[in-house]
Amino acid sequence: MKTTHASSGGFYFLGCIGAAIYFIQHAHSFWGGILGILKALVWPAILIYQIFLALGQ
């Protein structure tokens, strides 16, 4: 019997939606909104990178 636990996927999805809303609200142009959508998809990677930078110094 195969069991999967996908609860973290729902939290990631909600985080991406929340980040997209935040970045789009703070965009000053159409292309800023498009960039905000792209940022919303990769914000966890940026967050982890910044944490590692802070811990390494």
Q: How confident is the model at residue 47 (pLDDT cuts 50, 70, 90)?
A: confident
The single residue listed with the structure tokens 């985080």 is: 15
Whether the Cβ atoms of residue 23 and residue 40 lie closer than 8 Å to each other: yes
pLDDT at position 57 over 80: no
pLDDT of residue 2 exceeding 80, the answer is no
- CA pair distance 18, 14, nearest whole angstrom: 6
Print burial letters for 9-22: b (CB count within 10 Å at least 16), e (below 16).
eeeeeeebeebbee
**Mean of the per-residue pLDDT values for the chain?**
84
Single-letter amino acid, residue 25: Q
